[in-house]
Structure 1
Amino acid sequence: MFIILAFLILSFLVFFHELGHYIAARICGVRVETFSIGFGKKIICKTYRGTDYALSLIPLGGYVKLKGQGDLNPLEKDEAKDSYSTKKPLIKIVILFAGPLFNFILAFAIYLSIALYGGIEGVLPIVGEVKKDMPAFVAGLKEGDQIININQKKIRSWNEVHALISSEARVDMEIMRQGKKLSFSIPAQIQKRENVFGEMVDIYVIGIVARGDVGIIYQGLLDSIYYAFMEFYKSSKMILMGIQKMLIGVVSLKEIGGPIMIVDSIANFAQKDLTILFLWVALISVNLGILNLLPIPALDGGQILFNLYEILTGRMIHEQGARYLTLLGWVILFSLMLLGVFNDLRRIFGA
């Protein structure tokens, strides 16, 4: 049952991405020939106002086929007024960018909905242990101090305390102690820590630990919007850093996950906690949007580059070159997909 739910969620994410392309194309006067969830042979197909709406055999993706646009031939032409190929490059970019944009909108909406639904619980910014002889101890911080702001930034949770302190050589902190506001200026120390990518990096510390009090830290519309924005920003940053680390070899290619891992993860979270499931779905949606903007010719990002080239140079990219680059893009995509599936199977069988 949960596996079926996972496939439905993944299909919905793809549907929402393609819906962005579909709506933008219709607004820009481009005829949509096919709107398909899945690839391959069409299992169910219904034609309505010139568009084939289809559910296809392979449920790991989807596509929108526009008049005058070909996946294997980026310079496919159709001189009709409602053809994609007759539109100006800027209009094409709008249509191409709309898919990833819808993924970002969906992720933001999920984060916002989670925050509005009763608020977000988290560890409150209240100091627990103050480590002896560390900068915070020397400055005079005490257990029970509630941190109000750090370096002129309002603090809501201990996560924000950690994020700000770890990146600042000096911490200007305002705290509340027994109803009184006190200010401290604390020089931080550097320590070696392992980050999420397994690298040893230098971070700043002042020697304080959270007391562990849990409470509602985001509630109300404005706080919820702030939470949604910050979660979207952190998710995007983490994904982009992951891609960067993989390109420079810090993260092994063995860490690439495929559709099996995604479906399995969604199914596992669905059995545990609804909020965590939605957070995971939002992260996948951000990931889908960012990956589609990568400058690989077979993806939206690569096609956007072709159109930017035309805007900057005043001429279209050479047809044969565009065709070869697009084919290369498909080779890269299928290679990554096969690698992901191989890694998924390796994890399942415990290699």
Structure 2
Amino acid sequence: MTELLSVLRIIGTLFVALLIFNFVILIHEWGHFLAARWRGLKVEKFQIWMGKPIWKRTWNGVQYGLGSIPIGGFVALPQMAPMEAIEGPTDEKAERLPPVKPIDKIIVAFAGPLFSGLLALAFAFLVMWAGKPQHPSEVTTVIGYVKEDSPAAKSGLLIGDKILKIDGREVTGFSGGYGGVTWSIISSERNPIDFLVERPGVAAPVEVKVDAPVGQGKEAEEWAQKSWWTHLVGRPPFRRVGIAPAVDTVVKKVFPNSPAELAGLKPGDRIIGIDGKKLLTATPIFELAEKRENQPILLEVKRGEQTMSLTMVPAKPLPGTDGKPLPDGLDKPHPGLALGLADERTILVHPNPFKLVYGMASNTVSTLRGLLVPSSGVKLAYMSGPVGIMNLYYNILQGEHPILFLFYISVMLNIGLAIFNLLPLPVLDGGHITMGFLEMIRGRAASLRVMEVLQTACVLLLLGFVCFVTVKDIGGWSSGGPVKEPEIKFAPPSAAPAPN
């Protein structure tokens, strides 16, 4: 019975995600439909999804339908550029219909992105009204950890530095898109990357240039060694410099017989120092443990109001059961504990809707620009298609505060849909707008034969792109959703090796 309820929940969640995704497409196409009716164009079909319709009905001379391929949608307008490669054959050829003014073509083409933008703004007002869940740690720009031998460490970034700007743009937190530290590093078009930081004890902001070339570093080298199948279905590592935010963490779990348990650590403890050095986050304990097998590490620990010193000796976990190897990274010396946020409560923030839309639009534009600039860390493999978007909605609906996050993500989706469709490719709205302006300048429309060739070529290009990102989206399913905590086992104290 429990399994049946679980399956029904998954089906229900996917159905809701599908409805939301189709609603976004419906509003976009509705913009074209209303504009075409307003400007007097012949509307032949209004269809959600591509391909042969699995359902259709004609009403007031317009065929409404649901396609068989769950990608996009269209409004068939024979007087616009020929779109038979996507929309199927039309009942009336453009030659037999009265000509349409270029300005009307531009208005009709622009109406779709306009309606998507207005829907994004509507969702942004919902976000302002209902709020977006956010943990205080998401908005810090203070560096709490600098990985040893990383580009950040070699370039002089320090724990405690507060990042003010990256490449001249202000940052507002580590996570998120435009304005986030992580995204600013990925999308940077420069090398070295310019950091402007506020450093404790230094009056004026300090400029630090971090040398982090795209496609270099330990993670990039490890990616290059992976199999062709991993390269086909997986995504390459993001560009990183080796920093993490200052986050108040506590010990959430101590594994039996582990070095942490033998040292006396307990759940709820805060590790505030290692070997006499103060910490802003306890993350470095894992990196240090890998290098200090069977060697004592002095920990400064806060337990409630009490501060104490404990000594921990890292050790390797036992091999996996049934001959299965341990997860990557757990076959090395380990402290035998799990960390978590000290305060997992979230607050509701109510962002300005216009600033939210502007930020999302800036993020989309910087992504598209990054794809064209070789020095940027943005890659085509990072993009997602319909499957990835559906997976995103599914995970949101399975998590906490699903409705609030749906509002927020829907702002991003609609802004992305609007800007993507404004690209000047013949099959997109931007292509129709471009052809409309060219027709105004030239005084005549482009050859129908030329347009058919361009449209077909663009359709094949877009289908290739959708197939490419769909393979990546499906390959990334294994990393989505909640991650099961690995079981780590250690030898009993009597069998553990003695410290050096």
TM over 0.5: yes
Distance 1:191 1:287 in 2: 33
Distance 2:134 2:381 in 1: 34
Q: Secondary structure at the match of 2:51?
A: strand
In the TM superposition, residue 170 of structure 1 has moved relative to its aligned partner by 11
**Alignment deviations for residues 73-126 of structure 1 (CA, whole Å, 9 cap, x no partner):** 89x624435xxxx221111101001111111111110011121236887859x9
Inter-partner Cα distance in structure 1 for 2:196 and 2:141: 22
Correspondent of 2:367 among 218, 242, 260: 242
Aligned to 1:270: 397
2:447 and 2:131 map into 1 onto residues whose CA distance is 55
2: CA distance, partners of 1:123 / 1:112: 22
1:107 aligns with 2:94: no
After superposition, residues 87-98 of structure 1 pair within 5 angstroms as 87-98=100-111
Instruction: Please identify, of 6-15 and 40-49, the stretch whose mean Cα deviation from structure 2 is larger.
Output: 40-49
* TM superposition shift of 1:68: 2.7
Change (3 A) 1:102 1:79: same
Q: 2:208 is matched with which residue?
A: 191
Q: Distance in 2 between matches of 1:40 and 1:32?
A: 18
Q: Residue 302 of structure 1 corresponds to which residue in structure 2?
A: 431
Equivalent residue for 1:66, pick from 72, 77, 92: 77
**Aligned-partner residue type, residue 83 of structure 2:** D
Q: Is the 8 A contact 2:13 2:394 kept in 1?
A: yes
Pairing 1:44-63 to 2, within 5 Å after superposition: 44-63=55-74
| CA offset digits 1:124-171 (Å, max 9, x no partner) | 9x999999xxxxxxxxxxxxxxxxxxxxxxxxx966xx969x999899
Alignment of 1:1-351 (within 5 A): 1-69=12-80, 70-72=82-84, 77-81=94-98, 86-117=99-130, 187-192=204-209, 198=239, 218=350, 227-249=352-374, 250-272=377-399, 273=401, 274-348=403-477
Name 1:141's counterpart in structure 2.
Answer: none
* Larger-gyration structure (1/2): 2
Task: Report deviation, 1:192.
Answer: 4.5
Letter in 1 for 2:454: L
For 1:259 and 1:325, locate their aligned partners in 2 and report how far apart those are by CA, in whole Å.
24
* 1:127–1:278 Cα change, 3 Å: closer
Q: 1:233 to 1:122 in 2, by over 3 A?
A: farther
Q: Tell me how far apart the structure 2 counterparts of residues 324 and 130 of structure 1 sit (CA, whole Å).
A: 53
Which letter does structure 2 place at the counterpart of 1:241? Answer: S
1:322 maps to amino acid: M
Q: Deviations over 1:161-182 (max 9, x none)?
A: x969x999899xxxxxxxxxxx
- What is the count of residue pairs matched by the alignment? 292
Q: TM-score when scaled to structure 2?
A: 0.51
Cα gap change, 1:318/1:265 in structure 2, threshold over 3 Å: closer, same or farther? same
Q: Which residue type is aligned with residue 42 of structure 1?
A: P
Structure ranking higher in strand proportion: 1
Unaligned runs of 5+ in 2: 1-11, 87-92, 145-170, 185-193, 215-236, 242-279, 281-342, 480-500
Change (3 A) 1:63 1:120: same
Q: Could you say if the C-alpha distance between residues 170 and 26 of structure 1 is closer, same or farther in structure 2, counting changes exceeding 3 Å?
A: same
Structure in which a larger fraction of residues adopt helix: 1
SS at match of 2:83: coil
**Cα contact 1:7–1:59 (8 A) shared by 2:** no
Percent identity, aligned pairs only? 27
